[in-house]
Amino acid sequence: MASGAPTFYELYRRSSIGMTLTDMLDELIGEQRMDPQLAMKILSNFDRAITETLNDKVKARLTFKGSLDTYRFCDEVWTFLIKNVTFKMENGGQTVVADKVKIVSCNAKRPGDAP
């Protein structure tokens, strides 16, 4: 891997805030008020910022229990599809139940990153 700025996973682009950002950037490009290259740079900054913010600011923990339906491992990414899931917040907090949950798990360090 070439040296330079690290790259971040694009997972959070499919979140509601990521989709909203993408829609707005597409609209600005369509109106010719923004270059596509600038939009790509904004999305790259979003990938970095959301990853770093979640890592630094979110300290809550939870446990979950359910039935593993499907799992796969491809390109260093694990994907789990779980049915009948119960989430329990730490310290006896709130319990949430879901019919189906998809969990995508990526390595914190990508191949070729410095230790």
- pLDDT digits over 11-54, tens only? 899 899 999 999 999 999 999 999 999 999 999 999 999 989 98
Q: Are residues 50 and 18 in the same domain?
A: yes
pLDDT digit string, tens, across residues 59-83: 888 899 999 999 999 988 899 999 9
The residue range of the domain holding 53 is: 11-57
What is the C-alpha R_g of the chain? 18
Give the DSSP per-residue string, the chain. Answer: --SSSPP---GGGGSHHHHHHHHHHHHHHHTTSS-HHHHHHHHHHHHHHHHHHHHHH----EEEEEEEEEEEEETTEEEEEEEEEEEEETTT--EEEEEEEEEEEE-SS-TT---
Q: Which two tokens stand for residue 23?
A: 């829609």
Predicted local confidence at residue 94, as pLDDT: 83
Q: Are residues 41 and 71 in the same domain?
A: no
In sequence order, the 6+-apart residues with CB closer than 8 A to the CB of 87 are: 62, 63, 64, 95, 96, 97, 98
82 in the Ramachandran plot: left (φ > 0), alpha (ψ -120 to 50) or beta? beta
Q: Are residues 71 and 51 in the same domain?
A: no
In this structure, of 7-11, 45-49, 102-106, the range with the lowest mean pLDDT score is 7-11
Q: Are residues 74 and 53 in the same domain?
A: no
Burial of 104 per CB tally in 10 Å (0-12, 13-18, 19+): exposed
72: domain CATH number?
A: 2.30.18.10
